[in-house]
A = this chain, B = another copy of it.
């Protein structure tokens, strides 16, 4: 297994993704918790380019960017629960939706909640369209790839969990659960996985942190 450390921040859904994946694989690790208000020398040392969490340290080697880390975990500890499906086409589908969540949906959520007035207005137009696309995709699915938690489920938590707390912190009352019933059902289903449920911070704690941060 080697020496496994995670430089993370509990308030980051991207750090939490890695904690969930490591626990699903049964990998023991040491969490080096960062202060969200201050970038530590350790973080800057191991992620000099982006200076962001999460950073996985495996036998002293640093791996950064949460999607890259998830693939690394899956390829390094093959014996545990697989994160990505085996079939190349299904793997491509999973990677497509992961990019969609990270590059399209989440930046709009950030703008909607904590952006400038202009960004907020634009996100209010854009985000519902993006979430509707995702909502259609998860219709009639238990987890994204089938009956067990996998890559896209873990990747989804900025949408399926963090979004609610961010909207509450920013007093954004649009985009309720009723508008995206399939995403809501998916979010509930994810809570039936004890490893996911136990690693999500309490909603009130997240709301408080976002109010303090922004």
Which of A's residues lie within 8 Å of B, judged by CB? Answer: 49, 58, 61, 63-65, 67-69, 71-72, 75-76, 88-89, 91-92, 95-96, 99-100, 103, 133
- Chain copies in complex: 2
Q: Which residues of B contact A103 (CB under 8 A)?
A: 103
Residue of chain B at shortest CB distance from A133: B49
Contact, CB under 8 Å: A89 / B72: yes
Q: How far is the CB of A56 from chain B (nearest CB, A)?
A: 9
Q: Which residues of B contact A68 (CB under 8 A)?
A: 92, 95-96, 99
Q: How far is the CB of A39 from chain B (nearest CB, A)?
A: 17
Q: What separation, in Å, do the CA atoms of A95 and B67 have in the docked complex?
A: 9
Q: What separation, in Å, do the CA atoms of A89 and B73 have in the docked complex?
A: 10
Q: Which residues of B contact A64 (CB under 8 A)?
A: 96
Q: What separation, in Å, do the CA atoms of A212 and B206 have in the docked complex?
A: 49
